[in-house]
Structure 1
Amino acid sequence: MRGAEGPTVRCDVRVEAPVPRVWELVTDIRLPVRFSPELQRVAWVDGADRPLVGARFEGCNRHPQIGEWRTVSHVVELDDQRVFAWVVMDADGRYGEPTLDPARSMAYWRYELEAEDGGTRLRQSALVGPGRNGVTLAIERRPDREEQIVAFRLKELRAGMEATLQGIRKLAEEGG
């Protein structure tokens, strides 16, 4: 897959807990910090204190190959107990011109929940781009390795998503 093709990764897990419990966990923007290998801190900004369409939150990330960076995310979809989605912006211009324009997002993240036999099917997905991001920079440096760069990044994202989903599953099932 190539960077311009909108590389996407999806993971899902069955959770032996009701949808409302799982929803409570996935809409806690601070929770993934406990499981993600990249996300270090996250907090609501602009007076927001919960997910609402248009609400924004700041994330601080760290990656062994590219260091630390800050993002600002905008909630773009919220369907109670079904969908929570946000786009990630390069507010500081780490990868190009600074932007808070959702049409130029670095990534699009989404949780989907579905009732399933007394439990919940929880899906998480991420789309890299369409705006400039770390993958864009890596491809510009090594255009001959574009497919390998994209595959490597999708593998990293999948590992982080699987860790996060398993962490959410465990918390939901334990009631903690």
Structure 2
Amino acid sequence: MNDYGVTGSTTDVEVLIKLPIRELWSGITAIDRYGEWSPECYYGAWLDDRIEKGARFEARNRFKDGFETYVTCTVTVAEAPYRFGWDVYGGEDVPLAHWEYELEDQGVETLVRQTFTHGPGDSGLRMGAVQNPERAAEIIQGRLDQLAANMRSTLTAMESALRTPR
């Protein structure tokens, strides 16, 4: 089936965070706190008591139209404190997305590169492109732009929260 370019569509952001790399790593791997920072993810919880390749966590997302998703994620890379990534599964055997952070130590600051890549699994984006093939490119780009804005927003909120003691 033609997916109109959804599979493999990607976006990324690069943000300089005013935190040392190990402090930022603690935030990026604090899945249970993403609900405090993300415009879409309102819940996250580790299903395994370890941060390593193969570990799993669950997440819940709420979109502007009120639609909610419940997903399970599997860590694909956990190289403290430099790389952390995971695949997102929505009930299928193939991932619907891959998220990854790369951190570059710059002393008291950390350069973060966050990437999203759409997988072959089912998603709202795929459904929208298939249902509206004449607008598929516009729909895909709109979602990628929204995801990039959400990444920046999440990283900014994360930085602020980690700089302020709880």
Cα shift readout 1:61-80 (whole Å, capped 9, x = no counterpart): 11133611210100011111
Q: Using the aligned pairs only, state the percent identity.
A: 31
RMSD, matched Cα? 1.7
Corresponding residue number in structure 2 for 1:43: 45
Indicate how the Cα distance of structure 1 residues 130 and 173 shifts in structure 2: closer, same or farther if over 3 A, else same. Answer: same
* Counterpart check, 1:121 vs 2:104: no
Partner secondary structure for residue 30 of structure 1: helix
SS of match in other structure, 2:75 = strand
* Residue number among 158, 162, 167 corresponding to 2:152 in the alignment: 162
Distance 1:21 1:27, change over 3 A: same
Q: Is the 1:3–1:135 contact (alpha carbons within 8 Å) kept by the matching residues of 2?
A: no
SS in 1 for 2:34: helix
User: Within 5 A, what are the aligned runs for 1:1-176?
Assistant: 2-4=4-6, 6-45=8-47, 48-65=48-65, 67-91=67-91, 99=92, 101=93, 104-174=94-164
Question: Could you say what secondary structure the match of 1:169 adopts?
Answer: helix
Q: Is the 8 A contact 1:85 1:108 kept in 2?
A: yes
Q: 1:111: how far off?
A: 1.0
Partners of 1:35 and 1:160 within 8 A in 2: no
Counterpart amino acid of 2:33? L
> After TM superposition, what 4+ stretches of structure 1 lie above 4 angstroms from structure 2?
none
Residues 5/90 of structure 1: CA separation in 2 closer, same or farther (3 Å cut): closer
Q: d(CA) in 1 for partners of 2:76 and 2:12?
A: 18
Report the counterpart of residue 94 of structure 1 in structure 2: none
Matches of 2:18 and 2:69 in 1, distance apart? 35
**Alignment-mate amino acid for residue 70 of structure 2:** R
For 1:110 and 1:32, locate their aligned partners in 2 and report how far apart those are by CA, in whole Å: 14
